[in-house]
Structure 1
Amino acid sequence: MDLEEKLARLPDHPGVYIMHDASGAIIYVGKAASLRNRVRSYFRGQHQPRTQAMVSHVADFEYILTDNEVEALILECNLIKQHRPRYNVSLKDDKSYPYIKITTQEDFPRIQITRSVTRDGSRYFGPYTSAGSLKETLKLLRGLFPIRTCRDTPLQPRSRPCLNAHIGRCLAPCSGQVDRETYREAVDNVIMFLEGRHTALVKELKEQMEAAAANLEFEKAARLRDQLRAVQEVCEKQKLAAASGEDADAIAFAREGEAALGLIFFSRGGKVIGRDHFFLTGSEGLSRGEVMAALLKEYYSRGVEIPPEILLHDEPEDAATIASWLSRLRGGRVNLRVPKRGTKLKLLRLVHENAVSLLQEHLLARRRQEEGSRAALLELQEILELPRLPRRMEAYDISNFQGSSQVGAMAVFVDGRPLPSAYRRFQIKTVRGPNDFASLQEVLSRRFRRAAEQDPHFADLPDFVLIDGGLGQLHAARETMEAMGVGYIPTFGLAKEEELLFRVGTSEPIRLPRESKALQILQHLRDEVHRFAITYHRQKREKTAYRSVLDDIPGVGPKRKKALLRHFGSVAAISKATLEDLLAVEGMNRTVAARILAGLGRRSDGEDSTGSP
């Protein structure tokens, strides 16, 4: 069925439409109150350049019917998150800020730091833009309200508590030193503190302190008094008041050319407690209402906390549907407001001014970085007498441990900056034993063969190749590149320690000055490929070690292996476990536990079967 026939058969019904290009890849996902009207509109009349570009690549489309617009919005967000289509607006962080996570879905919740937010039933607080601020917050929390930080999920009973309990940093629910209700009180106090509800927390602590004193529990009353004083000190330090005493987010964005930045201020209990910003890609040509709608859908679909009120600098497109969707996610009413006067308008103007300032800083820093990178590339071209500016640079490295788990890696710089999406890793298939030269040749032959086969992941050829190593590695690389018909690409080797640069045709190395920008960009490229190779090698070696220890033990399948690793955290910890420790693992029985001990060379009494200490 061709496109025109499919367009003619579109239903007048809410749903989600999915655009595909000629290769079948999803390039755009959208929702509509009427699929017929919305999808047909793309192929009729004039559009913004970005929309026209998208439509020119559409080779096919499909759609999914939903009961209403809210259901369509939910499905749209899920599909965008899953497929990351090229022409949808997306949020890009230029940083990875940490959050505080409290696992409220567990009987005895724990507190931890995370850099990813998921909809797993936990509460997330942050992001914390300052590592120092996060450390101070955690230090204060662990002193005030000692809830657990261990990774046991679910909590495993212990005969003796850990060191944190002995130094007053944990209430030790694992050893039965606290009941669930008392522990939950501590967790609730932590949540109140992190939500910025300091007034309610102060009142709660005062009541608990007075009750403890009335019951002659003077040690408990003294501890509550100290907690109360610490919280009051924090209250005194928090001076930035929001527009009202309620919980709200205030959102604005700034645009300049193709660059756009969204900024969110978090207000809890009437106080601005933090902010976060994102760069928006794919927003060019869209109205401000369309950008604001995309920002809301992208941000709040991440599983972050949703307040009852969201203040907006611009009216979003389809505001009623988005508000209904947010209310469903939150489990309570969410109001989207665009203030026209008063203190809330002043707050939004402040957010917008900050967004403009941050975007200007980013654009200035980017321009300076581009100028610096270009200067370094020009210096490199001149010193090494390269035929053209090395805009695309590739580096290669091999990593192994005594010949095992050999891997190769390729890192890519474009215009002097890393392009992580183009990095590639290779599992060595044809080389046995420690042979870096042969492994390097395998990696290069596979890379350039894939390019010759028009593989889109390898189609772009480099202007410059850097090998992590000296003359030996360089000669091995050049031999393969000549055989593959890409010997014309300038290739150099960079040796560690003395940072000597080698080229084919001479044994004399090139010594670039330490302060040389050209040397610094080569060092950065070499260090990137080395890091990437080492990381992949460690992952592969750990996976191999885990498999070799457990795979041959009867009764240990994928589920039990996963449960073991989740319980103990590492293969090393499993190897030290006793029979009782193994029996505490979910789904474990005595027979399989004894087999695991035997497979690890241990007896059921915990002794080493070899008799060594």
Structure 2
Amino acid sequence: MSFDHKPFLKTLTGRPGVYCMQDEEGKVIYVGKAKNLKNRVTSYFNKSQTNSPKTMVMVKQIENIEVTVTHTENEALILENNLIKSYKPRYNILFRDDKSYPYLYLSTDHDYPHFRYHRGALKGKGKFFGPYPSAGSVRSTLNVIQKLFLIRSCEDSVFANRSRPCLQYQIKRCTAPCVEAITKEDYQRDIEHAKLFLEGKNEDVIKGLTEPMQKASDALEFEIAARFRDQIRSLRDVQEKQHITTDGGDIDIIACVINANQACIQLVFIRAGLNLGNRNYYPQHIEEQSEADLVKAFISQFYLNENKQQKIPTEILISHDFEDSGLIENIISEKAGKKIKLKTNVRAERAKWLAMAKENAEITLKQKIASNKSQHKRFEALQKLLSFKEPIEHMECFDISHTQGESTVGSCVVFGPDGPVNSKYRLFNIENITKGDDYAAMSQVIRRRYTRLVKENASLPDLIIIDGGKGQIGVAKKELYELQLTHIPILGVAKGPSRKPGLENLILALENKTVDCDSSSPALHLIQHIRDESHRFAITAHRQRRKKTRGRSKLEDIEGIGNKRRQSIIKHFGGIQGVAKAGVDDIAMVSGINKSLAQKVYDVFHNN
């Protein structure tokens, strides 16, 4: 087995999804799904958990693993089955899953039948509709059926013992067949309409409702006609809302991500409302190109390729809009012989699909960047660029994040030869500095980080990278001097005049010189990767801290004011704003608050 699983597993997500194992020829040999991708895929490389000889033989043939993240485990299960049907992997013969799909069941041995949730063997007199991806989707469909067609929802035992209509009849969710408020024929008509609705034949349902609506209107029975009219309107609304998942529509989704001068374009296929899987493309020569440029080039090459005989869907969702999109849209429409729409600004379900495609592209690209082969080349290139005699095996990068000095946070990310070492990442909440002073914040982070490492006699980095210019480098050098760690080289990464990736200024502190580096250099890609990771880690922590601080009540910091007293004060004044406007005497009138506590509360809101 030449597949190096350790760096791959480090970058793997813990979300649900599907994984495809490939052999040296790129052929899929196994497809699986997981509630937690990281835990499931890791188990294949854990000898204590891999006892099956067949599994051991399969693992030895793995050359690559591709993963697709999904919203839920049920969605992963459906996608897994679609991929198995498509690829027919040799090691999926013994595929088993303990879970069964939920269905809607309509009994036929009752004068007034009803739909109910069903999971298990498809036995019994009646009709099954499904399968559905989740129990929630079944219950949602049941709710729609009851709202549109007023089908009863009660169990047969309850139905048999009713003497008067229940609340469902009062709120117009049932026609009360239990007390024969509707004839068997009319109820059966509603059941037939519900069946057509579940089979996707909404237009047939609407036609079936239009005729009796017209007859009722002609007979001046306007109340009955209005009920049919409202049913038709509701059906139209449901059609629009469930377009992606229920009408069998075909959609392509294209998402592009650029990271460290590398790119990934993910193409997701939605056919008949089902996610059939995705494919990743890694374009070359992308220097100075934006995501929009790459999406434009991909669409042109993929859909306008004369050698490809393919069915183009009427809708293509793209992560980035681009110039001449209308022109390309018209050319693709002409080739397909139908109107094709390129869409970027989408909502609701389509927005979720587009976001998921982009997230998958980001995860895939991160794994590619962190692959063992690519990573070693980058470390070697960085060593050569900086003229280091010894290999670089341990790097640490620092960044500061705040909003106008509020909730300042410092980050430290650690990289090794296999990429990010997440377990060694550290965050620093910055206190006791002038708001907005990045130099003081960086000084505090460096001091706290390396004071601890020295005390614990822990491993020190071969290179420190600072996201900043000469000012940040200067304070870092000063702190290392105090700790007698001046032998550790510092590399500053300052943004260039245009602040574009690839045009950074690299400053090597030991020699106090600027290092020239080509934008396509693997060494620069590595520097950008660790810098961007440090920035992401810092800004995420900052936003969390800021949200927590802004959502915290000033009353929580007052000694002697517990939860009950705090609630009494807020209730008495109708909110925090009322407390801020109150005087000491007003606050002292609250039950349980004496004059001393009232003064403390007043001082907090008036900065005394």
TM-score bracket for the superposition, by shorter chain length: 0.3 to 0.5
Structure whose alpha-carbon radius of gyration is higher: 2
User: TM-score, normalised on structure 1?
Assistant: 0.39
